[in-house]
Amino acid sequence: MKVTPIDILCSPSAKTPEVTMPRLTKGRYAARLAESPADIAACQRLRGLAFHGPDAPPDADAFDAACLHVMVTDTGDGALVGCFRLLPLATGAEIARSYSAQFYELSALREFDKPMVELGRFCLHPDRHDPDILRVAWGAMTAYVDAHGVGMLFGCSSFQGTDGELYRDAFALLTERHLAPSRWLPRVKSPRVFPFAQGLARVKPDFKRAMRAMPPLLRTYLLMGGWVSDHAVVDREMNTLHVFTGLEIGAIPPARARLLRATAAA
């Protein structure tokens, strides 16, 4: 597989970084690493469409040049239907280099002693709703995690809009069941936050309503045993509320891990 320098994050602790993620096909969808600047530009255009609407410019930032970009395409018409980017870190000692560190105080995670990967800018084409797209994306992620011995997957999971009251049940459920372990708990850094755990600690959530309101990416994290920060960051530029989300690979329930690896091997 051809992988250009722009696709590879050269960690200070890695002398000869290698990238391993075989092309994965399931049904009519395939996932692969971006292989050229044109591929990355296609991902940025899809992100602009998914995050900001049909007339928006491509979504791009300085982190793109340091990330691996994963593309999910329709094998029938070649259309790009989903994408995300990965920022590999040798250990938690490098956490300050992550996108998430702009918004959360993550010093507790410096003690994490295994490889980590930040998953970011995850999006699906707004006109494509086939659940197999998400399955292929997670299969590709699983293949990468297994190939590189990743111990934790993390990132920001976003709710559309900046009014936390619209997601009262969802945030109450996160407070009740899914807050980060105290040893890894992110602290407040951003000047604009919604401290949901503080305000909703005694609220009993409606489970069905909460799960309907949960973003698909976050819902998947939670099903695998993921956890979140106790506050959401108000991101007015992206018009979202996002929570820091972590998933320790070793804590994924065995049955769920088998399903993911079955998809990754398909």
Cβ contact 80:113 at 8 Å: no
Assign 26 a pLDDT band (cuts: 50, 70, 90).
Answer: confident
Q: So what's the pLDDT on residue 261?
A: 84
Pick the residue with more confidence: 15 or 174?
174
Q: Is the dihedral of CA 124, 130, 131, 134 positive or negative?
A: negative
Distance CA 199, CA 177 (A): 15
Question: Global pTM?
Answer: 0.90
What residues make up the domain containing 253?
5-264
pLDDT at 204 over 60: yes
Distance from C-alpha of 167 to C-alpha of 147, rounded to nearest angstrom: 37
| Residue 75 pLDDT | 95
- The pLDDT tens digits of the residues spanning 208-229 come to 999 999 999 999 999 999 999 9
Backbone angles phi, psi at 247, to 5 degrees: -140, 110
pLDDT surpasses 50 at 14: no
Residue 177 has pLDDT above 60, yes or no: yes
At residue 242, does pLDDT exceed 90?
A: yes
- The residue ranges of DSSP E strands in the chain, in sequence order, are 24-26, 29-33, 68-74, 80-89, 104-105, 116-124, 152-160, 187-188, 193-194, 227-228, 232-235, 240-248
Q: Which tens digits make up the pLDDT trace of 117-140?
A: 999 999 999 999 899 999 999 999
The number of helices, as runs of H, and strands, as runs of E, in the chain is 7, 12
Number of domains in the chain: 1
Residue 9: what pLDDT?
32
pLDDT digits (tens, 9 = 90+) for 59-107: 999 999 999 999 999 999 999 999 999 999 999 999 999 999 999 999 9
CATH code of the domain in which 183 resides: 3.40.630.30
Grade residue 266 by pLDDT with cuts at 50, 70 and 90. low
